[in-house]
Amino acid sequence: MNAVSGGDGSGGAAEHAHTTAWIASRIRNGIAGGELTPGTKLSEQSLSAALGVSRNTLRQAFTALAEESIVRRIPNRGVFVASPGPEDIREIYRVRRAIEPAAVLWGDITPQKLDTMEAVVQRAQAARDAGSVADMADANQAFHREVVGLTGSGTLGRMMDRVLAEMRLVFYAMSSAPDFHSHYVDRNVLLVRRLRAGENEKAAAELREYLDAAEAELLGHLAGRAAS
Amino acid sequence: MNAVSGGDGSGGAAEHAHTTAWIASRIRNGIAGGELTPGTKLSEQSLSAALGVSRNTLRQAFTALAEESIVRRIPNRGVFVASPGPEDIREIYRVRRAIEPAAVLWGDITPQKLDTMEAVVQRAQAARDAGSVADMADANQAFHREVVGLTGSGTLGRMMDRVLAEMRLVFYAMSSAPDFHSHYVDRNVLLVRRLRAGENEKAAAELREYLDAAEAELLGHLAGRAAS
DNA sequence: AATCTTGGATTGTTCAACAATTTACGGCTT
DNA sequence: AAGCCGTAAATTGTTGAACAATCCAAGATT
C-alpha cells in the first residue's frame, strides 16, 4: 500500500550494524524517485511495518534524514518529506551562488575533469534532443555537481548533493515546468569552453548571472503556481 | 566520574520531545568545552547512565552528532569524538578557501555587518594584549564565522560552525601552539579595512593567501608533533 | 454555529531482552 | 618471555512491548 514497498527478506545486503543506514538510504531513494512526494507524512507505524524494521531504528533513520534536512521533523507531530517554499529556494541559490563560482574560480581544474564535465553536458544535449526531460534534468544536476567537484572537497560535494536533492523536491512541486533546464544547457557548453580557455573569471561571472536567472525563473514559476 | 556530569533532575528545561536534542547539545558542549577530548570513546552504557537517559535516545543523539561529523561512529566498535588528522585539516581548508573568499567577494556587505566584524577584531586584539589565548582563539573563530555570515546563508553558516568545531578539535590535539592566532589578528584588521574601502577582490585574494599560510602552519605543527 | 469534552491515534521515551561482534583474558605452544 | 589461539565477558545493533505526553477527530454542550 505504501509507496515504499516492504523489503523484508529480499535483497539481503543488510546484515548486522547496517539496517539504520539501509533504511535511511531506502527513504532517500524513495523521495528522489518520486514515490514519496513533498509534504507526505511519514508515519512511524506504517513505515516501520512496511520496511520491516523496528519503530526504534526507523526513528534513528529519521534523525539522520532530518539532520540532512531531507525531511522535516515537527515535535509531536511527525516527520514530513520537505516541501521547499520560496524562502528555501532563495537559500538554495544563496549557497549555489557562493559555492559554484568559487569552484570555477579557484578549483583544481584538470583536463580530465573538464572531459567528464563535457561528457555530462553532451549527455544533457542528447537528452534534450531526444525530448527526455527527466534525463536532461539529471544530466544538468550532474553537471553542477561536477562543478563543485572541482574544489576537490568531499564536504562541499556532499553539501551540493543535499542542495540538489532539495532542488528535485522543488521541481516536483511544479511539474509544469518541463523546459526549465533546456535554456541552460547551452550555457553549460559555454562554461566548459571558457574553462578550457582558462577564462575562469569570466566563467565565474557568467555562472553567477546564470544562477541569478535560474533563481528568478524558479521563483516566478512558483509564484504563478501559488496564485493559480 | 565521567567528564559529563549527571544531569538528572537538575536544570529541568527538557520536557517531552526535546531530550534527544538536549542530549546532543550536551555532548556537543562537552566536546567544545574540552571535557571530552578527541579520540575519547563514548560508551553507551556509561554515558546513558551519566546523562540519565535511555541508551536508545543516547543512540539517537549519536546519529545526529555523527551526521555533523562531530563524532565518528565505527560499526560494532562504538562512537569516538573526532580526532582530525592531516587529511581532515586539508579538507577543512579546502572548504574554507572556497567559502570565505566567496563570501568576501560576493556577499551582501553592509556597514552594519562591517561594524560587528570590526568589533570582533577589536575583541581579538584586546585578548591578545591581555595575553588570553583562549579568548583570542574564540574571537578569531567568531570573526571568520562573521565572514561567511556575509553570504546571508544559514546553511553555509551552519557548515562553517561545523568546520570551526572541527578546528577546535585540531587545536586541542596540539595545545603547544599558543600563538597560532596572534599572527592573523592583524590580517583580519586589514581585511575589514579592505572591505570598507570596497576592495573586495584584493580582500578575497589576501584571504586566500592567509588561509593557505594557516593551513601550512597547522600541518607543520602537526607533523612536528607527530614526529616527537 | 461555535466551543468544550472526550476518546483514540501518534509521537517521545524507557526498559528489558537477544543476536552479532568486538574485546579481554588465560592457557598453550615454541 | 613472546606469540598465538579459544573461550568468556563486555559492547554494540536491533527488536518488542510498555507508558506518558501530545495531538487529532469526533460527538456533546451551550
Tell me, what CATH number does A63's domain have? 1.10.10.10
- Using the beta-carbon criterion (under 8 Å), do A76 and B17 form an inter-chain contact? yes
Neighbouring residues of A108: CB distance < 8 A, sequence distance ≥ 6: A150, A151, A152
* H/E stretch holding B162: helix B154-173
Residue B166 and residue B84 in contact, taking contact as beta carbons nearer than 8 Å: yes
B13 within a domain of the structure (yes/no): no
pLDDT at B109 over 60: yes
Scanning every strand, the nucleotide with its C1' closest to B75's CA turns out to be D12
The verdict on A132 and A209 lying in the same domain is: yes
Please check whether residues A36 and A110 belong to one and the same domain: no
| Partner B contacted by A173 (CB < 8 A) | no
Grid coordinates given for B37? 577530548
Q: Answer whether residue B176 shows pLDDT above 70.
A: no
Say yes or no: B91 and B75 in one domain: no
Q: What is the CATH number of the domain that holds B202?
A: 1.20.120.530
Cell numbers 553507551 correspond to what residue?
A: B44
B8-20 tens-digit pLDDT: 333 333 467 899 9
B163 and B114 in a common domain: yes
The amino acid sitting at B214 is: A
CB-based contact (8 Å) between A83 and chain B? no
In a shared domain, residues B117 and B209 = yes
Summarised one tens digit per residue, pLDDT across range A139-163 is 999 999 999 999 999 999 999 999 9
Cβ proximity of A80 and B79 under 8 Å: no
Is residue A46's pLDDT more than 90?
Answer: yes
Which of B63, B81, B99 is a domain's end point?
B81
Mean pLDDT of A95-109: 98
Residue B7 domain-assigned? no
- 65-124 on B, CB < 7 Å from strand D: 73, 75-78
Which of B61, B81, B101 corresponds to the end of one domain?
Answer: B81
Query: Which residue of B98, B155, B159 is in closest CB contact with A106?
Result: B98
Q: Residues 7-26 of B near strand C (Cβ < 7 Å)?
A: 16-20
Q: Which residues contact A40 (CB under 8 A, 6 or more apart)?
A: A3, A80, A81
A98 and A31 in a common domain: no
Q: For residue A225, what pLDDT is reported? A: 67
For position A8, what pLDDT does the model report? 37
pLDDT at residue B75 greater than cutoff 90:
yes
Q: Does residue A8 lie in a domain region?
A: no
* A190 shares a domain with A122: yes
Q: Are residues B180 and B99 part of one domain?
A: yes
**Residue-level pLDDT at B224:** 76
Is any atom of nucleic acid chain D found less than 7 Å from the CB of residue B18? Answer: no
Pick the last residue of a domain from A81, A113, A129. A81
Whether residue A3 lies inside any domain: the answer is no
A163 vs B contacts (CB less than 8 Å): 155
Per the prediction, chain A carries an average pLDDT of 91
Beta carbon of A13 within 7 Å of strand C? no
B40 CA to D8 C1' distance (Å): 26
Torsion angle of the four alpha carbons A121, A125, A130, A133, in this order, in degrees rounded to the nearest 10: 70
Cβ contact B57 with chain C strand, < 7 A: yes
Structural domain includes residue A139: yes
Angle at B92 between CA B111 and CA B187, to 5 degrees: 40
Q: Classify burial at A12, counting beta carbons within 10 Å of its beta carbon; exposed 0-12, middle 13-18, buried 19 or more.
A: exposed
Q: What is the ipTM of this complex?
A: 0.92
Q: DSSP letters of A164-196? A: HHHHHHHHHHT-S-TTTTHHHHHHHHHHHHHHH
A77 touches strand C (CB under 7 A): yes
Question: Considering only CA atoms, which of A48, A69, A68, A67 is closest in space to residue A58?
Answer: A48
Cell 566567496 identifies what position? B102
CB count within 10 Å of CB A89 equals 20
Residues A195 and A100 both lie in one domain: yes
Q: What is the pLDDT of residue A227?
A: 55
Show the CA angle centred on residue B158, arms to residues B3 and A26, nearest 5°: 90
| Whole-number Å distance between alpha carbons of A130 and B67 | 40
Whether B136 and B199 map to the same domain: the answer is: yes
Per residue, the 3-state secondary structure of B116-140, as one string, reads HHHHHHHHHHHHHHHCCHHHHHHHH
Residues A99 and A190 in one domain: yes
- Domain assignment of residue A218, yes or no: yes
B138 in the same domain as B103: yes
Mean of the per-residue pLDDT values of chain B? 91
For residue A103, list chain B residues with Cβ-Cβ distance below 8 A. 98
Report the 10 Å Cβ neighbour count for A108. Answer: 12
User: What does the block give as the cell for B202?
Assistant: 584584493
Q: What's the number of domains chain B is made of? A: 2
What average pLDDT does the segment A3-16 reach? 44
* Residue B154, in any domain of the structure: yes
B44 sits within 7 Å of strand D by its CB: yes
Which residue range forms the structural domain that includes residue B23?
19-81
In a domain, A9, yes or no: no
